Chain A
Amino acid sequence: MSPEFILPAVNFQCILPQILLSLTALLVLLVDVFGLVKKANALALITLAGVVFATLTLFSGTGLQETAFSGMILVDGFSFFLNLTICLILILTILVSMNYQQFFPGINSGEYYSLLIFAAVGMSFMAAAGNLILLFVALELMSVSIYVLVGFHKDNLRSIEAALKYFLMGAFATSFLLLGFAFLYGATGTMDLLTMTEFIRSNPEVLSSGLFLSGVLLTLTGLGFKISMVPFHMWTPDVYEGAPTVITGFMATGVKAAAFAALVRIFMVPLGSLPIDWSMLLWVAAVLTMTVGNIIALVQDSIKRMLAYSGIAHAGYLLIGVVAGGELAQAGILYYLLVYAFMNIGAFGVLALLGKKETEYNTLQEFSGLGLKYPVLGLAMAVFMFSLAGIPPTGGFMGKLYIFSAAIKSGYVWLVVLGALNSVISIYYYLRVIVVMYFQESGAEDVAFPAPSPAITLGLGLAAAGIMILGVFPSYFWVLAQNSVFVPM
């Protein structure tokens, strides 16, 4: 005898952007495999059109506050803001990818673009997930796509090595995540985030049970791996360095955004009422993450690897927001993720632009004199570096300001002091790029600067403009972020 089967309420409107993205991915795949278009950038343009269209449909869902698919999907400001961020990341990545063909012709294939989109769909479902199962599936969709993308440069040993490392470590960490989810389910009897929040509110004693805490810890491990939180960060530099540069930018921003979305959904809301000494754990993790990232970044000669370590440091700043808790900190995290998308993809985009045939330039020596030779490109890079260092009037400064002020409001003054000290350390290596660009004689005599294509001009311009807008006119997006915080319905 079969149990009664209840048809779930299906509301396609809620996942329309994701549906459109997936369709675009399939379309690109077919177009490529049938050889329907011959022009060089046609695939990228089709992808771009699809993504932009999906981004526009996002706006039809503004202001909604509901659940769909039996609570699997949360349609709220939080997912809107993150989806917007993820779509922006996708658009920027596609724009800078179009220029990357010179180093890596194989990138111009349907698989590349469809994998990018599938990864983004995974990210956006992570942001919208209201259920641990969906969260996990989305995470896997994202991760598997990115494993492949990291190793996409099949002729490059570093790329393959990075992919294998990332895959092995990722599989390892994911198993912890899954185990964590299982423990959480065991402790609370539900996979649904909202129900779990309710359950914890009515049974606060569960917070101190070993089963529950183990679940929390294992979940933290799994997500901490994705955001490269110390001590789960070891893979980051190798993978970021080995991956094709544009993919590094994509995963540094996109995966971080999605994983922080999950962290906020799980840790800041249902577990918002954890006892204080528990957040000490995150406190220590945040400080370690910032410090380790920054200190190792200090001694790097390769800008790409330096940015990889700085990615760890930025995860640390974001963790300050998670420690601080509260709606202000949530808004700060959202704002920071948006800024981070612009500045990091921008910086990696510049890296993806320079080099001789098949060899990218990304050591400091190769950057010397760049700012004087190519003033506009140098200026853009300077903007990205200033923003990453958090110097006003860039968006990076406002992002840090919002997160730090939320932490101060919650009473974590020392954490903010350490965060600020770390920013000071980071200024050294970010500004070193600028110093080398402007004050050193050009060393590499023939830094081939390919005529900038409209795509990369648009991409870098968009990124720089975004940073400046977020830095000088923060109000609009700050209010948007404040209206987008996740509050259980």
Chain B
Amino acid sequence: MFDLVWLIPTLPALGVLLNGLLGRKIEAANKSLVHWIACSAVGLSFFLTCLTFLELLQLPAELRLVEFTWFNWISAGEFQSYWAYQIDPLSMVMCLFVTGVGFLIHIYSIGYMGHAEGRYYRYFTYLNLFMFSMINLVLANNFLLMFLGWEGVGFCSYLLIGFWFGNIDNARAGKKAFITNRIGDFAFLVGLFLLITHLGKHGVWSVNFTEVFSHASALPPGIVTAVCLLFFIGCTAKSAQIPLYIWLPDAMAGPTPVSALIHAATMVTSGIYFVTRSNILYQMSPLALQVIAVVGALTALLAASIALTQNDIKRVLAYSTVSQLGYMFLGLGVGAFSAGIFHVVTHSFFKALLFLCAGSVMHGLANEQDMRFMGGMRKKMPVTYLTMLIGTLAIVGFPGLAGFFSKDEILWKTFASGHVLLWMIGVFTAGLTAFYMFRLIFMTFFNECRASREVQAKIHESPRTMTVPLIVLAALSAIGGYIGVPHALGGSNRIEHFLEPVMGTGPGKLIAGGEHLAQEAAHGAYHPSLAVEYLLMLLSVAIVLIGIGLAYTLYVKERERPVQLAERFSGLYRLMFNKWYVDELYGLIAVRPLHRASLFLWKGIDVLIIDGVVNGLARIFGWSGTWLRTVQTGYVQAYAVSLLLGVAGLMLYTLFVLVP
């Protein structure tokens, strides 16, 4: 099975080729063939991933690292990079949910995008291309191939955000996402170059993960910190953290399944995946980890506070994604890498579910996104309502559902590692999350319907291709947490043990240099008692319940209160409603000065000086070309003479200059 791992990314690539090159014809001939190709490609990938995963499980824990080299990709001098994949617990966990959730969303898209006449094949081509890139990202065994996937997913995200580019706002949102990501990618690349050159000084010309990590201890600590921070800047762009999160809410301009797949479940988690993959490097730099934890916690809080006041259903979910990603980074920052990945997995289930439910609601309501014009959907869309409720309960961390285990794991690890302040932020944010998520539920599904009459008449439950993925995802959101039940609750935290070989602290010791880190971790950790763990768990559950209760009071029982509150705290409300004016701030301190500087460079320096020189040179070359072509008379005698003169010149030069 391991030898077939190359098929996992190749199948979606084949889908891209088929639909991309022949899509127009296929769609004209038989529309269903388009989604058959796309879905079966991803479905087969998922199937193969499952088989590979099962085979990996057969291996003993310390042997769970299989590398598959497909071919030599780039070789330049001593530097070698292969197109090679790595099968280990981490890549398998990622690949499983990427292909699995991706498959479900492909199926959902059949129903959702059914009315996209003429662009249908394009949509599925982009989606397959995204799958190809994402699989490369998580399966790659080296930085370079991973970066190819990293750029690929960014590119697909750009294409899909601007999918309805007929509307200029969508095109702008795509551009914003792309440019913001470029900033991060620039930092990422600088970090990579720094890493390569410094490892090269030690004779390691490789970007292979295992090789880089096993030689990481040779690097000076300053360099490691710089590399880690630069990488992290790349991650803040891709995974929407402070300060580069601003593109994600706007990215909701894309079709809803895309928001579910790319901007909630998979692509935005690649930053978390990357930090976890490089945990050896990060553990060598406490400063970098500290930065990650603080940024994560602040992002979680900030995004949650913005989500409180938003009225657009997708935007609420987008800010909640940013907030949840903040949780994951908080987990990574306190050294709980497997808890972070655990949350990535559960989050991908329930957030994909929530987005798809939102899509289903919008589908029924003639693409209405504003929650103020929704309401009372409980009766009309029972399946959507129930599944969305499960998703919401999962995300707020209702005991027993997926989010409860993963979020509590992060909070507990935060507390246990001594970051009490960050823990408090996390718990407070959990309360906010409960509030705004249930605000969403109540505004959408409860009370009376506020949509216009003609829209109300057409409200319907979504087709089977849409509801089935919802049900599957709801089931996963409900039970997905049981792969990581903590010891305190009588579980064995299987996912943590499964991921241990990948972590520098694990007992597998696949990676040299991990051992001393493990010892340090054992010494430095602070071990609160089991009682404290229970207490904290209860506390966070209580806060969640308070949040839900508050939402119920404000949005079901006393519905005039929110307006009064907004008036009383009008300053704070306006700040939150306008997203803390971050976009405007960036405009003021970065975009506008840059724009002005660019204008000067363009009009002043580029047009006058550089273009002047270039155009002048071009004119000179043009003239000399016109002159030189007159030499080309077409007379063969002239040609022969030039040949003869050439020979004579050569001979004279040689015999009189070279020989003496």
Contacts and interface: CB of A to CB of B under 8 A. Distances in A.
B654 A214 contact: yes
A428 interface: yes
A281 B621 contact: no
Interface in A461-489: 473-476, 478-479
Most buried by B among A210, A225, A277: A210
Main secondary structure of the interface of A (DSSP, over half): helix
B71 A475 contact: yes
Contact of A176 (B622, B626, B639, B647): B647
Given A176-B647, A231-B645, A278-B658, A165 B73 contact: no
A429 B625 CA distance: 12
Contact of B72 (A213, A277, A428, A479): A479
A173 B639 CA distance: 11
Contact of B650 (A169, A217, A225): A217
A275 B660 CA distance: 13
B625 A295 contact: yes
Nearest to A401: B76
Contacts of B629: 296, 299
Given A208-B659, A237-B632, A299-B622, A217 B640 contact: no
A169 B83 CA distance: 50
Contact of B624 (A238, A281, A295, A473): A295
Main secondary structure of the interface of B (DSSP, over half): helix
Give the contact-size bracket for chain A. 35 or more
B430 to A, nearest CB: 47
Nearest to A238: B634
Interface in B627-660: 628-629, 631-632, 634, 636, 638-640, 642-643, 645-647, 649-651, 653-655, 657-659
Given A210-B655, A234-B632, A478-B75, A218 B647 contact: yes
Contacts of B75: 475, 478-479
A132 interface: no
Give the contact-size bracket for chain B. 35 or more
B71 A295 contact: no
Contacts, number: 96
Nearest to B655: A210
A220 B653 CA distance: 14
A297 B642 CA distance: 20
B636 A281 contact: no
B658 A213 contact: yes
A298 interface: yes
B530 interface: no
A200 interface: no
Contacts of A275: 658
Given A168-B640, A218-B647, A299 B626 contact: yes
A286 interface: no
A103 interface: no
B639 A295 contact: no
B123 to A, nearest CB: 20
Given A164-B636, A217-B647, 11 more contacts: A169-B639, A210-B654, A214-B654, A217-B651, A217-B654, A218-B647, A221-B646, A281-B654, A295-B624, A474-B74, A479-B75
16 contacts: A168-B636, A210-B654, A214-B651, A217-B654, A221-B643, A221-B647, A221-B650, A225-B643, A234-B632, A278-B658, A473-B83, A474-B74, A475-B74, A475-B75, A476-B72, A479-B72
Interface of A: 164-165, 168-169, 172-173, 176, 208-210, 213-214, 217-218, 220-221, 225, 231-232, 234-235, 237-238, 275, 277-278, 281, 292, 295-299, 425, 428, 473-476, 478-479
